[in-house]
Amino acid sequence: MPAQAADAPAGAPASVAFFYGANPPLADLQAFDVAVVEPEFVKNPAARNRAPGDGAHSLFAYVSLGEVQPVRPYYKQLPPHSLRGDNAAWGSRVIDQTAPGWRDFFLDRIIAPLWQQGWRGFFLDTLDSYQLFARTDAERAAQTAAMVDILREFKRRYPDARLMLNRGFELLPQIAPLTYAVAAESLYRGYDAGRRAYRAVPDEDRAWLLGQMETVRDQYHLPVISIDYVDPQQPGARDLARATADKISSTASFPGWRMVH
């Protein structure tokens, strides 16, 4: 459900949808300015895009930078020593951003084919997964520096690419000018993949996330996208989803701001 308000940055999307499954409902998704989908399930994405004068609509390709699922076709071709542990909750492997050859592999083997297929928008996920293995400040700094290098090279090779980040707050001091929008999950309601359970977000976690969102808005002047989760099987799910959306829209810390959820 999209929520709109005045005074968003020029060119900001008024509504964003996320659909990661097979057979995305492309006709329905055209109601949104931006729709994030798994690129393997969409052929000829450029044919679906519309200019603002025709009612803006763009498809964005979901791309995981920080993790890889073993089912991905490029998994067995990853550079040596690219993997540093597991994210058991999602059944994925975590990538060492500093691994020799990883940057060019990511851009040559993952991004380049998508660009050739006509994708011009990219939703970059799992930007903080390195925290699962990087324990010291020096290790974390090395990971973020490597990601900054990857994203700068991404925009150097493809200046017209629009990059939407999932969190990645620590990267913004270096790459905010390269960024189209920033998304963040679980402002009021989230999903615990390890326990396979939906949950309310604790006040402390929400306060931290709101602080990050305010920085994105006030310091970097980027659109903010909030992604919250409601169990569709629970009684009153639709009402809870609408109530959660209303909470996001009316959050006092964002007067006159456009939140997309």
**pLDDT-based confidence at residue 54 (cuts at 50, 70, 90):** confident
Chain segment 100-131, per-residue pLDDT in tens: 999 999 999 999 999 999 999 999 999 999 99
At 232, is the secondary structure helix, strand, or coil?
A: coil
pLDDT score recorded for residue 255: 42
Residue 256, pLDDT score:
40
Is residue 212 within 8 Å of 206, Cβ to Cβ?
no
**pLDDT at residue 198 greater than cutoff 50:** yes
Q: Return the bridge partners of 200, or none.
A: 189
Separation of alpha carbons 24 and 42, rounded Å: 8
Burial 20-39 (b: 16+ CB within 10 A, else e): eeeebebeebbebbbbbbeb
pLDDT at 9: 56
C-alpha to C-alpha distance for 231 and 198, rounded to whole angstroms: 6
Range with the poorest average pLDDT among 26-40, 119-133, 197-211, 244-258: 244-258
**Is 90 exceeded by the pLDDT of residue 99?**
yes
Q: What is the CATH number of domain 16-260?
A: 3.20.20.70
pLDDT tens digits along 129-160: 999 999 999 999 999 999 999 999 999 999 99
State residue 5's pLDDT score.
Answer: 33
Report the predicted TM-score, pTM, of the whole model to 2 decimal places.
0.90
Model pLDDT, residue 10: 57
Strand order in the sheet with 259-260: 16-19, 34-37, 58-64, 121-125, 162-166, 179-185, 224-227, 259-260
pLDDT score for 258: 44
Q: What is the pLDDT of residues 215-233, one digit of tens each?
A: 999 999 999 999 999 999 9
Q: How many residues does the chain have?
A: 261
Q: Hey, which residues does 37 pair with through a beta bridge? A: 19, 61
Element (H, E) at 164: strand 162-166
Whether the pLDDT of residue 176 is over 90: the answer is yes
- What is the domain partition of the chain in residue ranges? 16-260
The predicted structure's pLDDT at residue 1: 39
Beta-carbon count within 10 A of 231 CB: 14
Find out whether 261 and 3 touch, Cβ atoms under 8 Å: yes
Tokens of 175: 């790459």
Is residue 174 scored above 60 in pLDDT? yes
